[in-house]
Amino acid sequence: MSQKVLLNAKEVNIILHRLACQLIEKHNDFSNTVLIGLQPRGIFLANRIAKILKNDYKVKNIQLGFLDITFFRDDFRRSDKPLEANSTHINFLVENKTIVFIDDVLYTGRSIRAALTAIQSFGRPSEIELLTLIDRRFSRHLPIQPDYRGRQVDVINDEKVKVNWVENDGEDSVYLINK
Amino acid sequence: MSELSVNHLLGIKYLNKQDIQLIFETADHFKEVINRPIKKVPSLRDITIANLFFENSTRTRLSFELAEKRLSADVINFSSAQSSVKKGETLIDTVNNILSMKVDMVVMRHPNPGAGVFLSKHVKASILNAGDGAHEHPTQALLDSYSIREKYGEVKGKNIVIVGDILHSRVALSNIFALQLQGANVMVCGPKTLIPKYIDKLGVKVELDLRKALNWCDVANMLRVQNERMDISYFPTTREYTQQYGVNKEFLDSLDKEITIMHPGPINRGVEITSDVADSKQSIILEQVQNGVAIRMAVIYLLASKIKH
């Protein structure tokens, strides 16, 4: 197994600030926008973006939630490993809001499809956007594309993209792992 | 998250501690789901479940059906009263006929102890025991423990007394197994005639005096006197039973500490507990019913995840 650094801590930081700025450009004061991090790995990115918006760009009233999509996935009983559920924390209404889904890696698009179904349990949003740190090009199974992307990478199917976060993995970095 | 160690839920005695933990953690997620505006998830949209009730039931049956529908499974219902069982069909024939309609899972209540175990050996489907005679009622025991865990944070080390008709109760037996697996101290209390002879082999305390039992416990699980299963008289009159083993508000208030009252339902109001006890702050009877749906969703989900295409 070999691995290669795609992004180091400094590069991740620059990208996070750029993504935050792009969000501000589109959503102004976030009065009608909510951020939803997708469990399990999207929550770190969502937390980080929300923190940058609050601390560095002084955006007040950021509404942040976490959505678990386990029970909405289309590979129940098809994958070898049992599907592990995580908790959902959405303590606001999404009715008529603009939602920004946040996930670390966009790969086949199936997680996002599940998230699009799962969020319907919380109301009818007016619009849904997608923000991902890494966009794996050429590997989509569904017609889903991000609205905000950190870095687009060309990765073959045997390779894995691993995103690390300081708070969970000890460092901010993105690795390309060759299995 | 790991998997359940079993392919069927026939009784608590076939489960281990990790299974119970896994069911509870999964139920936590489903409890959040059933409190959403839209209470449904699509996980089991390709699973068909048959609810076979060879014995009367309201709560369990509705709870199972609701859990199945919340998981988007297709559901067919059967009750023996309106069926060909009355014409003499055997259990295996009945179930195999139903299974030939491509059913993946069977939820069964049956008056004979061991009916679920028997079926699991003869038919190709995941079997979920919803009560077999006076043997086991595993989902009830799971939801009872889950409700205790919700109230106290954990079941371990808690003192639980099961009061009433222990002899005819599947709820009592499953509860004893489940509570002991989780490290609770279990006592049974009731008239001597309604306490089975083998009870000391299960490692539970026996107390004939209700006041002593309630002063010892944190939680009292009040069982119903099952008149329909009694072939002889086990106590002189219902009135005498109520005087010795019934709980009213006055009695509850006179105890040394505040205890929690549970009841698996259906309640004979005024026999084992009075209305003011059933509806009091100390009662978690309605929480038990709500938790029943989450627990059954968890069990069905976990068993279904072991059915491979």
**Which CATH number belongs to the domain containing residue A121 in this structure?**
3.40.50.2020
Amino acid B82: pLDDT: 66
- Domain containing residue B159: CATH number: 3.40.50.1370
Distance CA B169, CA B30 (A): 28
Residue B297: closest CA among chain A residues belongs to which residue?
A: A71
Does residue B31 lie within any of the structural domains? yes
pLDDT exceeds 80 at position B1: no
Amino acid B309: pLDDT: 63
**Pair B186, B70 in one domain:** no
B48-53 and A173-178: which strand pairing? unpaired
Pick from A125, A126, A130, A128: which is nearest to A147 by CA? A130
In this structure, what are the phi and psi dihedrals at residue A152, rounded to the nearest 5 degrees? Answer: -95, 130
The per-residue pLDDT for range B183-222, each reduced to its tens digit, is 999 999 999 999 998 898 999 999 999 999 999 999 999 9
Residue with the two structure tokens 């009213």 = B248
Contact A122 B42 (CB under 8 A): no
Does residue A77 lie within any of the structural domains? no
Contact A121 B40 (CB under 8 A): yes
* Residue burial B269-295, b: 16+ Cβ < 10 Å; e: rest: eebbbbeebbeeeebbbebbbbbbbbb
Contact B29 A84 (CB under 8 A): no
Which is higher by pLDDT, A86 or A164?
A164
Mutate to test the interface with A, among B36, B47, B302 (most CBs of A within 10 A): B36
In this structure, what are the phi and psi dihedrals at residue B140, rounded to the nearest 5 degrees? Answer: -65, -45
ipTM of the complex, rounded to two decimals: 0.75
Which chain A residues are closer than 8 Å to B41 by Cβ? 71-72, 118, 121
Pick from B308, B301, B304: which is nearest to B41 by CA? B301
**Pair B199, B125 in one domain:** no
| pLDDT-derived band at B66, boundaries 50, 70, 90 | very high
**Pair B154, B132 in one domain:** no
The answer, for B73 touching chain A at a CB cutoff of 8 Å, is no
The per-residue pLDDT for range A122-157, each reduced to its tens digit, is 889 999 999 999 999 888 999 999 999 999 999 887
Task: Give the three-state DSSP class for B210.
Answer: helix
Which chain A residues are closer than 8 Å to B309 by Cβ? 77-78
The per-residue pLDDT for range B271-298, each reduced to its tens digit, is 999 999 999 999 999 999 999 999 999 9
Concatenate the DSSP letters of all residues of A1-32 into one string: -EEEEEE-HHHHHHHHHHHHHHHHHHHTT-TT
The answer, for B33 touching chain A at a CB cutoff of 8 Å, is yes
* Nearest CB to A71; choose among B28, B43, B46: B43
How high is the mean pLDDT of chain B? 91
Pick from B215, B201, B87: which is nearest to B161 by CA? B215
Average confidence (pLDDT) over A153-166: 89
pLDDT exceeds 60 at position A111: yes
Range of the domain at A63: 8-71+86-157
Q: Is A51 exposed, middle or buried (0-12, 13-18, 19+ CB in 10 A)?
A: middle
**Pair B74, B113 in one domain:** yes
Range of the domain at B76: 12-136+289-304
Q: Would you say B52 and B103 are in contact if contact means Cβ atoms under 8 Å apart?
A: no
Q: Can you read off the two tokens belonging to residue B7?
A: 């392919």
**Pair B273, B294 in one domain:** no
**Chain A residues near any Cβ of chain B (below 8 Å):** 68, 70-73, 76-78, 82-88, 117-118, 120-123
Does residue A97 lie within any of the structural domains? yes
Does residue B153 lie within any of the structural domains? yes
Number of independent structural domains in chain B: 2
- Give every CB contact of residue B37 below 8 A, 6+ residues apart in sequence: A121, A122, A123
The per-residue pLDDT for range B77-136, each reduced to its tens digit, is 988 776 666 677 888 888 888 888 889 999 999 999 999 999 999 888 999 999 999 899
Amino acid letter, B199? I
* Nearest CB to A83; choose among B28, B305, B307: B305
The per-residue pLDDT for range B212-258, each reduced to its tens digit, is 999 999 999 999 887 777 777 788 888 899 999 999 999 999 998 89
Rg (CA), chain B: 19
